[in-house]
């Protein structure tokens, strides 16, 4: 399956720009995931359901969202985003920038638990 199939024009350049300009917490988490779980392929800023997933492990149907300070007032937006992503058959785990920066080991432990639950189970 091609990941970018049926995506609107401009999706690939937008994903590339999001990866290039990613905030430090996303970069740090992505590095941590790739080091802690090298058997999994971690995709960064991947189009899913009309949104861009911060980090996606396609084989485990797991999306990891890193919410920054700008997300504090956007509960409705996050709910719509989560609904769109889960409608694609993916599970969503969310962390704040502060969690990633201050407690990366704890975040990775939560991700490990989500990976152990496997596809189709709530994380």
Looking at the chain, the whole-number percentage of residues with pLDDT higher than 70 is: 76
Q: What's the Cα-to-Cα distance from 112 to each of 36, 70, 89, 102, 107, rounded to whole Å? A: 9, 27, 19, 18, 9
Where do the structural domains in the chain lie, given as residue ranges? 11-117
> Domain 11-117, what architecture?
3-Layer(aba) Sandwich (3.40)
Per residue in 52-91, pLDDT (tens digit) is 889 999 999 999 999 876 655 577 888 888 998 999 899 9
Tell me the C-alpha distance between 13 and 44, whole Å: 13
């Amino acid at each position: 399956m091609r990941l970018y199939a049926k995506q609107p024009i401009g999706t690939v350049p937008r994903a590339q720009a999001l990866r290039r300009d990613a905030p430090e917490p996303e970069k740090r988490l992505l590095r941590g995931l790739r080091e802690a779980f090298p058997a999994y392929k971690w995709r960064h800023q991947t189009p899913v359901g009309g949104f861009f997933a911060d980090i996606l492990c396609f084989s485990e149907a797991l999306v990891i969202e890193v919410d920054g300070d700008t997300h504090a007032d956007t509960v409705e937006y996050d709910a719509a985003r989560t609904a769109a992503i889960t409608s694609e058959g993916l599970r969503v785990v969310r962390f704040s920038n502060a969690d990633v920066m201050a407690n990366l080991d704890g975040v990775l432990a939560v991700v490990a638990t989500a990976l152990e639950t496997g596809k189709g189970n709530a994380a």
